[in-house]
């Protein structure tokens, strides 16, 4: 009986859809790597939505020992809200900081699932703009996605750790002080 029911349910089920938004990786992919700082950005401009997930792979390693201390991995997309479809056209990307071009790259098509992927080196922490340039039905489209990068996201916060350590030391000091008072020798009781 149970086998027949299971077979019937499997015949009625449809194909499973992807569980991630517009092909972007989500935090769960890196849940085993909690040291990877991740930021996601979305911007809507008219009928267009642009967005992306940025991974700062510094991890917990020191920036001085890293071969690529300023590399950021970009997973970005452009989405036509009217057509309800991800853009799959060639896109020229430009990364700008304070209006100056930092780097350019081009993708002729999405790298996977409608997402364009690159790993770029950025000069410093700060506010940037990712500019998309592509053609849609014979018209040039330029879209921008502002984003912020903190290249020192993996840095150890020594003042915070020092403060926490000091707090723990004070608690232990008070506990030891209280224990010594409780076990201090007492004068013999006077008798009668």
- pLDDT (tens digit per residue) in 100-127: 999 999 999 998 888 999 989 899 889 9
Taking a C-beta distance cutoff of 8 angstroms, is the pair 54, 24 a contact? Answer: no
Residue 166: which pLDDT band, with cuts at 50, 70 and 90? confident
Taking a C-beta distance cutoff of 8 angstroms, is the pair 130, 144 a contact? Answer: yes
Domain extent for 61: 18-149
Between strands 38-45 and 48-56, the pairing is: antiparallel
pLDDT in tens, 75-102: 899 999 999 999 999 999 999 999 999 9
Residue 177 lies in a domain: no
Residue 173 lies in a domain: no
**pTM assigned to the model:** 0.63
Burial of residue 71 (number of CB atoms within 10 Å: 0-12, 13-18, 19+): middle
Residue 27 lies in a domain: yes
- For position 53, which CATH number holds? 2.60.40
Q: Does the structure show a pLDDT above 90 at 28? A: no
Per the prediction, the chain carries an average pLDDT of 76
Residue 158 lies in a domain: no
Residue 189 lies in a domain: no
């Amino acid at each position: 009986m149970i086998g027949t029911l299971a077979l019937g349910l499997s015949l009625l089920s449809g194909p499973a859809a992807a569980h991630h938004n517009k092909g972007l990786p989500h935090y769960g992919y890196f849940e085993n790597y909690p040291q990877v700082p991740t930021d996601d950005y979305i911007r809507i401009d008219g009928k267009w939505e642009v967005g992306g997930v940025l991974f700062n792979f510094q991890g917990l390693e020191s920036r001085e020992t890293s071969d690529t201390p300023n590399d950021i991995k970009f997973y970005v997309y452009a989405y036509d809200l009217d057509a309800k479809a991800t853009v799959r056209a060639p896109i020229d990307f430009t990364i700008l900081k304070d209006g100056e071009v930092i780097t350019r790259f081009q993708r002729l098509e999405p790298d996977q699932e409608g997402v364009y992927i690159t790993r770029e080196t950025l000069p410093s922490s700060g506010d940037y703009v990712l500019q998309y340039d592509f053609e849609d039905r014979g018209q040039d489209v330029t879209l921008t996605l502002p984003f912020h990068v903190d290249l020192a996201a993996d840095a150890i916060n020594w003042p915070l750790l020092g403060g926490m350590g000091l707090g723990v030391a004070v608690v232990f000091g008070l506990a030891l002080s209280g224990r010594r008072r409780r076990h201090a020798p007492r004068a013999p009781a006077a008798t009668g």
